[in-house]
Amino acid sequence: MRKNTLKEKLCLIVFLLMFLNILGIQQVYAAGTGEQMMQELYKSNEYRLLSKLSNVSIDKFFTVRFSQDINYKTVDNNSIVLIEKESGNKMNLTFEQIDDKSVKATPQQLLVKGKDYYLVVHKSIKTKDNLIELFKGTITEVSVNDAYSSFMVESASLIYPDKVEIKFNEVVNYTKGSTKQYYKINGIYPTKVEVLKDGKTAVLTLDASNDHTGQELKVFISNNITNSFGKYLVNDYEIKLNGYSSGGSNGGNTGGSTVPGPIDPNKIYFNILPEKLHASTSDDVQRFEILIQAIGGTFKEDLSGTNYDKAFRVVSIPTGFGIGTRPDGSPDITAVKRISPSMLKIRIDGRFPILKNENIILEFSQDALNENNKGGENIIEGNEILKIEIVTN
């Protein structure tokens, strides 16, 4: 058993995940009450400076991530504090545990445009077993500019041999110029940019004069794109994707695509990420967790409980799977979690052995979709069928 005298210390990494620009470590200080407080902390040699965060929006929260599991009971307004640089006033935070290593800290009031703050994490944070405390506290300077927001790229994926889908988390305003000027794929503008009716999704058509088969794709997205409120992306993006493989399976970073052909902006498509699942041949209960991505649409926020029984159905199963908890013994969809507006995690439980490589077939109904996808805009023509290949040992 480890003792309190152990020299091993807990290291801290602070991420502000609302897609904030990260600049160099702040080294020069001006006068001010909050400034003086930070100088005294830093002189004590008990704190280290992290990179300054600039162009932070007024409504942001912070995610503090540690290198080890922490005791969440040691997280409060005494161990993590937000201080206004000029006045030294302390702003109250509310906390939410994200996972064993991460905490979300949200200011109880909006930050003030043009002001600077300090996010300070003190050494009183301890590991889950209470044996180790932080080696040093941390100080992060935060600069607020409401010209920036949480507007960001949510995902990028190769959905067809010559098409890349870019999905934003907010509706995009393209009125300031040609849609093509904001994107480059391997340094070349796309030949076509199609904006789907959700306003958040753009499908880029690759330049056919270049063979992208099997090549790495570097997708550049300019931060000059604005949302419907005129706020810019927080930064430029360069996203790497694997090019289409001539073997028939798309090699993009999100797995295989179920899109059957050219994108129809009036339909919603689904991707399975990845499309192959590895299964054990034991007799124990086998659990699959499947990621489903919607292209051109979003999922309902509440798909828990009995709601997902209406939205999803297992219509085909592998030989020997069975003996689930449903009355007919079929595999059970035991949980559905919406991890982003266009991404679901579906959990399926059942028993094995599987006799050979087979497939699970899932059926999606319109009950899975957000209300905004109805009304004749983005629709499913009937139910959507998804096939997941199971690979046995």
Domain positions in the chain are 12-144, 153-242, 269-392
Range 124-150 average pLDDT? 76
pLDDT tens digits, 264-306: 667 777 777 666 666 555 555 566 778 887 777 788 887 776 6
3-state secondary structure of 48: strand
pLDDT tens digits, 97-107: 888 888 888 88
Can you give the pLDDT at residue 392? 58
Q: 2: pLDDT confidence band, cut at 50, 70 and 90? A: very low
Q: 390: pLDDT confidence band, cut at 50, 70 and 90? A: low
Q: Decide if pLDDT at 217 tops 90.
A: no
Range 35-46 average pLDDT? 83
Joined tokens for residue 84: 């206004």
Mean of the per-residue pLDDT values for the chain?
Answer: 71
CATH architecture of 12-144: Sandwich (2.60)
Query: What does CATH list as the number for 153-242?
Result: 2.60.40.1220
CA 358 – CA 347 distance, rounded (Å):
18
Paired with 359 in beta bridges are 389
Beta strands in 100-242 (DSSP E): 102-107, 116-121, 137-144, 153-160, 163-168, 172-173, 183-185, 192-195, 201-205, 216-221, 226-227, 237-242
pLDDT tens digits, 139-187: 888 887 654 456 778 888 887 778 888 888 888 887 655 677 889 998 8
Q: What is the pTM of this model?
A: 0.37
Q: Do domains 12-144 and 153-242 have the same CATH topology?
A: yes
Domain 269-392 adopts which CATH fold? Immunoglobulin-like (2.60.40)
**Residue 91 CB neighbours (<10 A):** 16
Which is higher by pLDDT, 235 or 263? 235
Can you give the pLDDT at residue 356? 52
Contact 185, 202 (CB under 8 A): no
